[in-house]
Amino acid sequence: MRIRIDDDFDLEKIRDSGQCFRVEPFEDGTYRFISSNQYLYIRRSSPGYYQVKCRRGAWDKFWRVYFDLDRNYHIIRSHIPASDPFLQAAAQAGRGIRILRQDPWEMLITFIISQRKNIPAIRKAVNQLARKYGKPIDTGRELIYSFPTARDLARAGHNGLAGCSLGYRLPYIECAIDMVRSGKLDLTRLEGLPLDEIKEALKTVQGVGDKVAGCIALFGYGRTDAAPVDVWISRVIKENYGGIDPFTAYGQEAGIMQQYAFYYIQHVLRQA
């Protein structure tokens, strides 16, 4: 199927933006995405046009929401004032990134795993969990695996999970499994709540602090008013804004600005 995307959209930058860890690039320029029990193969065929393969009807019903395609990121970038030259440069470098609307359960486990791990190590651990305990999906091109549910991971047991490179995060993962399975944490119920309430509920899971809760809110619930502060963003705030968080000024677009800044640090400033 051939589709058109008029707005900012860069598959490589999306993959490298630090919000998704199961995107696989192929030599022909195709990128494969997996979310819930859905899969997508997408390749840029010409400026603004893409060839996509997914389940029937899934592009309009699932993937448009996943890629936040009803929001105009070009206009958002144009709103950054000249008085904020750092974010202007960051947004230009990160042009094409979009905030992905991912599964909250997968984001909870993924961002617990992400603590003190680099991106390749996060990818390895997340993919290992999926291959061992997820459900197989035959796409016609390859066999892939859905992200395991809380029940799937509970069946794996302590020893099974211990073999997935989780390290000191293992008890945090087990806590998340227990809380979701018992209903103490109802991830569906958090949808639509105020941001502070979402974060406070997530922080009842052992090992989930403000930064991880903010990432889950941003990438699992589409709360673009969340702008998580990790060590890199903290350095940006200190070195470029005199210690005053600039992202809150952008309101409902704060998380988008944070992603531009994070990408800029990782892929431009660190390479200079």
Give residues with Cβ within 8 angstroms of 230, minimum separation 6: 211, 262
Closest among 135, 163, 136 to 149, alpha carbons compared = 135
What's the farthest any 2 CA atoms get from each other in the chain? 54
Length of the chain: 272
| Pairwise CA distance, residues 39 & 137, whole Å | 9
Active site residue 184: no
For the chain, the first-to-last Cα distance in angstroms comes to 39
Residue 113 CB-density burial (10 A; 0-12 exposed, 13-18 middle, 19+ buried): buried
The CA distance from 184 to 155, in Å, is 19
Q: Which residue among the candidates 124, 132, 211, 238 is catalytic per the annotation?
A: 211
- Which residues are catalytically annotated? 211
